[in-house]
Each structure stands twice: as structure tokens, then as C-alpha cells.
Amino acid sequence: MNRPHAQHRPRKRFGQNFLHDSVIIDRITASVGPRVDQHLLEIGPGQGALTTSLIESGCQLDVVELDRDLIPGLLAAFSLSPRFKLHSADALKFDFASLLEDSEEGTTQQRLRVVGNLPYNISTPLIFKLLEDSAIIEDMHFMLQLEVVERLAAVPGNKNWGRLGIMAQYQCRVEHLFDVPPHAFHPQPKVQSAIVRLTPWQASPWPQCDASALRILVKSAFAHRRKTLRNNLKGIIDSTQLEALGIDPGARAESLELTQFIEITNAINV
């Protein structure tokens, strides 16, 4: 199946950097391993470089593309495939659950497998949105700025440890698969990229807590990275309560383990 060949000038406001390296495309496809019995969602197919490899698996494939100028090329290349459906929409506002409701009649409602070369300017808010829908998602494979992948996969005590990594790891297994050099794209970005796999936990290794409450707590704890927990969590939990949990009120948020954030969340939501 041919990829779209229409001339399109990448738009900065959409954060467009189109993947063209066939070796990288094949490596991403192999990492995803799409199958005919699966339902995939590609966010930001762009000019269809990865779309071609995904649809050749025979999977059911929905794609969400914001740039209307790319729609004709995508339809010309893929609309004849009976299991391809294009949605001209903003992924940040899209109802992903509706894709399961629209699944083919007579088939089992499967969770979505999400793939995307995410624009750097929307990657973090989009990941948070997808984490809210993790119950309907099998896994996610994303091309992201390397810095974002390092934040997702960070460990306590690391400068990259923060809200994104904590919430992602609470809800998913995070795997930094491999890096992608700038020359794999057109135009070449000024930053290094990487592929990450996020797999929502089926049996979570973490103690249970209210994810929304955890998100609010972590946001407060990291509001000012140089300040202590005593200062950042003032009005939420006091020093005596933190000490009762075995947590130093004078510590900074980046030193805490995920389980400790969960303990604080549960303590203030009894």
C-alpha cells in the first residue's frame, strides 16, 4: 500500500516533524506488533509513514488527525481499506471511548492499542488525558521528545522525577524502548526523540488510592521543586502527620517514593 505523497509544508503550530526513516518505522512496527484481531488507534498519522505498516497487519485502525490539509492524502492512500477509519479531530478533545462503541458488530469489544508520533507541544497533556482512559487501553507506544521519555521513566531522587512520571508509573508499566535521531524526521527537530511503551497495569503493584486525589497531591508537592514538603503541602497535611507516616517534612518531593505519595494521599482522604 502506498504512503501519501502530497506535498505538505510542516506546520510549526502543530509541532509537525514527519518520520521518514524506514528502518525506524520498521523498528517501531516490530515493537508494537499489530495483529489482525486487534483494534489500534494512531494519533497524528501525519503523512502516513507509520500508518502503512500498521494497516498492513490487517488490524482495525482508527486515526485521529488535526491538520485538515493532510486529510486528502490520508484518504487517498488508505480509505479503500475496509478496516481503516479517519477522524478529523483534535486528540486533546477526542472521546476515545467512542471508538470502542463504534467497533464492528459481532466482534468482541477489545481495548485500544494506541500509537503515535506525538507533537512535542501537546505530548504531556495528551498523555494525562490517555491515562484517564487507561481502563480502555491495552498499551501505548509513543514517539516523544527524549526529555519527556526520561521524565516518564524517572526514578525517585532523579531530577526528572515529577508529576508526569509518578502518575504514569502509578497507572502503567513504563518502558523506554529506544532513541530516535533527528535525521529520521523532516524537518529535523533540534531535540533527540525516543520510543516509549506504556502498559496499563492489570494487577497493580502499588497500594490502591484515589488517582484524582493522588494527581492533585503530587501537583502540589512539586509546585515549587526547591521548597520542602512542609511548605508545598501546607494546608493539605501538617508536619506531624507526615512524620507519623515516616516522611521527613523537610524533604523535597523529588526524594519521595511513589508508595509514599500514595500513603500521604490515603492519609488525607480517610
In the chain, the N- to C-terminal Cα span, in Å, equals 57
Mean pLDDT of 206-216: 95
Distances (CA, A) of 230 to 12, 13, 83: 41, 40, 54
C-alpha cell belonging to residue 140: 501505548
Return residue ranges of the chain for CATH 1.10.8.100: 211-268
Write out pLDDT tens, residues 132-151: 999 999 999 999 999 999 99
Contact 242, 249 (CB under 8 A): yes
| Domain 211-268: homologous superfamily in CATH | rRNA adenine dimethylase, C-terminal domain (1.10.8.100)
Write out pLDDT tens, residues 217-239: 999 999 999 999 999 999 999 99
Predicted confidence band at 9 (pLDDT cuts at 50, 70, 90)? low
Mean pLDDT of 249-258: 97
Return residue ranges of the chain for CATH 3.40.50.150: 12-200
Q: pTM for this structure?
A: 0.89
Q: What does the alpha-carbon distance between residue 148 and residue 184 come to, in Å, rounded to a whole number?
A: 18
Q: What does the alpha-carbon distance between residue 8 and residue 21 come to, in Å, rounded to a whole number?
A: 17
- For the segment(s) 12-200, the CATH number from 3.60.21.10, 3.40.50.1820, 3.40.50.150, 3.40.50.2020 is 3.40.50.150
C-alpha cell belonging to residue 74: 490520508
